[in-house]
């Protein structure tokens, strides 16, 4: 085993769009373990939109990413040294070890993984935080009934793709929003959504609403929001009375300049009164008591090859910054990962 490893730290906070200069690649000695600790060789790193928010020094649901510290991020890998009786060398594990080749844990937030029927990387996607995010927002906020219609933005992504499939499993009509004809074909032909609208064909909320109305002539009963901006305002005009909106992410605002006007600002607040709908934001880590139930269901779907997913995989830790920037610009297809070994 090498005596050193690499990690990526946050070198500076971005103003507007993230650039490669906001990151720094470093080499460090492999740490010596203390009693109770585990050394993990990370195989895959998860890149997720929430990381952009933590790069800002602003009030949020979590502490900001510290300057000169390893970038936060979910990982899966293999135990290579252990001073903890709960973990053995060779165990496959999931944790939050960050943008690094090796990580040390005390085991408190490390989870053993069974890769007999589920690929290791899937534990960062449909059987991980993205899948659980979809599961919670769909079941606990949208709560659709068979025959109703839901709309899912970023439908080809790691979260949105799971939401739409959960809907179809229960006889709920699922309409996706995605960027480009290729992603829309994937959403309908492979994931089984009833329809998909290319949001790039609309230049404002009214145009998007008109495109959605063609495939949802009877309105929308639930909306799972990952994007915000014109998408949110467009869908809002089609909401049926007592519809539910789950706010998972607002990526269209993540790279705005400080002091700018959010693209997700609600343009027609009177719709809250007209449609009497409920809009709720959520962070899936607030609901850890439900993870065993949700992950068990999702694991069953993946192991049975019922739940489909796609991955975009960048090679090597040094590729993480550009892959992250590309994800924020919608260049990825499905779950964005970095393969570290």
Residue ranges and CATH numbers for the domains of the chain are 4-125+309-339 (3.90.180.10), 129-285 (3.40.50.720)
3-state secondary structure at position 166 = helix
- Averaged pLDDT for residues 226-248: 96
* Res 7 pLDDT > 70: yes
User: What distance in Å separates the CA atoms of residue 202 and residue 230, rounded to the nearest whole number?
Assistant: 9
Q: Which helix (H) or strand (E) segment is 321 a member of? A: helix 320-328
Q: What is the pLDDT of residues 79-118, one digit of tens each?
A: 999 999 999 999 999 999 999 999 999 999 999 999 999 9
User: What distance in Å separates the CA atoms of residue 227 and residue 177, rounded to the nearest whole number?
Assistant: 10
Q: Specify the higher pLDDT residue, 305 or 53.
A: 305
Indicate the pLDDT class of residue 261, thresholds 50, 70 and 90.
low
User: What distance in Å separates the CA atoms of residue 313 and residue 175, rounded to the nearest whole number?
Assistant: 27
- Averaged pLDDT for residues 333-341: 95
Q: What angle do CA 62, 64, 65 make, to 5 degrees?
A: 120
Q: Which helix (H) or strand (E) segment is 270 a member of? A: helix 270-275
Indicate the pLDDT class of residue 58, thresholds 50, 70 and 90.
confident
* Res 77 pLDDT > 90: yes
User: What distance in Å separates the CA atoms of residue 74 and residue 144, rounded to the nearest whole number?
Assistant: 30
Q: What is the dihedral of CA 68, 41, 341, 90, to 10 degrees?
A: -170
Q: Taking the model in full, what pTM does it have? A: 0.94
User: What distance in Å separates the CA atoms of residue 106 and residue 133, rounded to the nearest whole number?
Assistant: 26
């Amino acid at each position: 085993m090498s005596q050193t490893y690499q990690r990526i730290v946050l070198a500076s906070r971005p103003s507007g769009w993230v650039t490669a200069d906001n990151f720094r690649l470093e080499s460090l000695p492999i740490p010596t373990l203390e009693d109770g600790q585990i050394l993990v060789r990370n195989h895959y790193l998860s890149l997720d939109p929430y990381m952009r928010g933590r790069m800002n020094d602003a009030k949020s649901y979590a502490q900001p990413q510290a300057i000169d510290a390893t970038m936060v991020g979910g990982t899966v890998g293999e135990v290579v040294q252990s001073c903890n009786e709960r973990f053995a060398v060779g165990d496959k594990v999931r944790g939050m070890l960050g943008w690094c080749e090796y990580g040390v844990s005390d085991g408190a937030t490390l989870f053993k993984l069974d890769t007999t029927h589920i690929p290791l990387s899937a534990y960062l996607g449909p059987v991980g935080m993205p899948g659980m995010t979809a599961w919670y927002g769909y079941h606990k906020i949208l709560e659709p009934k068979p025959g109703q219609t839901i709309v899912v933005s970023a439908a080809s992504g790691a979260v949105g793709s799971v939401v739409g499939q959960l809907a179809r499993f229960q006889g709920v009509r699922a309409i996706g929003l995605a960027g480009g004809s290729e992603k829309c074909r994937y959403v309908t032909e492979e994931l089984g959504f009833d329809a998909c609208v290319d949001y790039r064909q609309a230049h404002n909320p009214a145009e998007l609403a008109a495109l959605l109305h063609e495939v949802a002539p009877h309105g929308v009963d639930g909306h799972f929001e990952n994007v915000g901006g014109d998408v949110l305002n467009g869908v809002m005009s089609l909401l049926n009375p007592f519809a539910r909106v789950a706010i998972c992410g607002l990526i269209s605002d993540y790279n705005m300049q400080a002091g700018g006007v959010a693209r997700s600002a609600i343009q027609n607040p009177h719709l809250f009164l007209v449609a009497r709908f409920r809009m709720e934001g959520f962070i899936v880590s607030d609901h850890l008591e439900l993870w065993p139930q949700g992950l068990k269901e999702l694991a069953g779907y993946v192991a049975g090859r019922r739940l489909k997913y796609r991955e975009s995989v960048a090679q090597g830790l040094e590729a993480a910054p550009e892959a992250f920037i590309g994800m924020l610009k919608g260049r990825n297809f499905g779950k964005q990962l970095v393969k570290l070994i």
